[in-house]
Amino acid sequence: MKCTKRIIFHIDVNSAYLSWTAVDKLQHGENIDLREFPSAVGGDPLSRHGIILAKSIPAKKYNIQTGESIFSAKQKCPELIIVPPRYELYIRCSNALVDILKEYTPVIQRFSVDECFLDFTNMENIYDDPVVLANTIKDRVKKELGFTVNIGISSNKLLAKVASDFKKPDRVHTLFPNEISKKMWPLPVEDLFMVGRATAPKLHKLNIFTIGDLANYDINILKEKLKSHGLMIWNYANGIEDSKVKKSNFINMKGMGNSTTTSFDIEDRKTAHMVLLSLCETIGMRLRNSHNCCKLVSVSIKDSNFFHSSKQRKFYCATDSTNSIAKDAYELFDELWQGKPIRHLGVSVSELCSNEFNQLSLFQTKISDKEKALDTAIDSIRMKYGSNSIVRAAFLHSGVKPVNGGVSTDDYPPMSSIL
């Protein structure tokens, strides 16, 4: 019986949000390519706070980190160019990438908005050299879409993803089992999946500083110290992982959130509701684009004294309606707010389920169908012409952005949840 050798690609867009924004600006007449300057995608630079969502390669020279505050990043690099996140643009670019990938294999798993796994197992009669194929795909994406990708090639998803994170940008790398000791083991142990901020110090105390140290450590001690997590990361360090590439047309998510720090203190209920609605606009579009409904919504508040509070509620029926999510967000806010000035508001949804068969309550009317049609029409316009191409009249002259927030990596599950 023939032993099949798996061939898995992991495709990762280089500095995705920044690259997509740069390409869009160039296509609309900009003379500056953001990718060639210290630049980043983040919150509104005029607000007091916001975080870096993505950065250009030149920005890395200033040690600017994804997730740090814009204030901190500007201190490191005063000339840093900040551009706001644009969810509808990211989805358009992501879909364009996947459309190209579908021409090469039907087995594609969208890991996040800027990452995909592709399975080319049993396709050696079509593609005899995976490295040549990967370079063909990489070059075609660059030529037709204007942005670059890294492609990692291996016999499983874990190693393919590690390979795609090697030297960037616009590169193809392999990491097959016989290359692990040379290419992966010298890397810092923090570079391994599921070795986060909490785990790394524990490993350091065991004199584990590289992935190789972990791979060759006594498994019994790891299990004693870190329980099942120790066994899992030991397997990962040794390249052991055998999950399938799960064919999917849409990004699998456990939940999604959106928040904003306003450039002014919110002191009245009406303004707070407006900000919540602007956050729900983005969340609703994300839900519908991912073909999901949510069963739970939560609201969080941070006041001017940095006191944080939150409250959540389950929906009677799962929904992807912007109005329904906003309505419950208002009610949660009213129950939660103590009247103190607010500097930060957040809305998140979870307990997601497919919207393919969305059962309605007996108490719901034809208004639901009308809202669904309206949401679909608005999404279509925004995806084509931009998030501010159509706005609610309530936002006119309000001083509140009609659509708030971009894309956070928190929207997507950790690697362990898909392997």
Give the angle 169-171-174 at the CA atoms, nearest 5°: 135
Residue that has been written with the tokens 């707070």 in this structure? 272
Element (H or E) spanning 172, and its range? strand 172-174
Q: Cα–Cα distance between 195 and 281 in angstroms, integer?
A: 35
Give residues with Cβ within 8 angstroms of 250, minimum separation 6.
110, 289, 290, 291, 292
Residue 143 identity (one-letter amino acid): K
Q: What's the count of helices (H) and strands (E) in the chain, helices before strands?
A: 13, 13
Q: Cα–Cα distance between 87 and 44 in angstroms, integer?
A: 14
Give residues with Cβ within 8 angstroms of 242, minimum separation 6.
156
Give residues with Cβ within 8 angstroms of 384, minimum separation 6.
none
Q: Cα–Cα distance between 144 and 418 in angstroms, integer?
A: 30
Give 251's DSSP letter.
Answer: -
Which residue, among 270, 291, 46, 14, has the nearest Cα to 138 in the 3D structure?
14
What are the DSSP E strand ranges found in 188-270?
Answer: 255-266
User: Catalytic annotation on 115?
Assistant: yes
Gyration radius of the chain over CA positions = 23
8 A C-beta contact, residue 244 and residue 117: no
8 A C-beta contact, residue 34 and residue 21: yes
68, 88, 103, 115: the catalytic one is 115
* Number of residues that this document lists for the chain: 419
8 A C-beta contact, residue 299 and residue 347: yes
Q: Just list the catalytic residues.
A: 115
